[in-house]
Amino acid sequence: MNELSEIFATCQRHRIPVNLFLLLCLNVLLAPAVQAATPGAESRFSAYTITLLGLVTLSLCIYLFVVIFQPEKF
């Protein structure tokens, strides 16, 4: 149990790299689905960039939603 608390504390200190890693892992999981869903001869690079753009847009929407409805935290 002590090891779990150490891992959690490390994640709290290194928040940006952990978030970037999770975003890239999610991108790797979603890009094949985007590539399969787009008609035509889309390249793999295009599928990854479209997926990354969608994830960034979704993250920005969630952030702005939180900022608008809980402004006292910022």
Q: How confident is the model over 40-58, as a mean pLDDT? A: 78
Amino acid at 36: A
Would 41 be classed as within a structural domain? yes
- Quote the domain boundaries for residue 33: 1-69
Would 74 be classed as within a structural domain? no
Task: Report pLDDT for 12.
Answer: 64
Report d(CA 32, CA 53) in Å as an integer: 15
Residue pair 55/23 in contact by the 8 Å Cβ criterion: yes
Total domain count, the chain: 1
Q: Can you give the pTM of this predicted structure? A: 0.56
**Spatial CB neighbours of 26, under 8 Å, sequence gap ≥ 6:** 55
Would 1 be classed as within a structural domain? yes
70 pLDDT tier (thresholds 50, 70, 90): confident
Residue pair 52/22 in contact by the 8 Å Cβ criterion: no
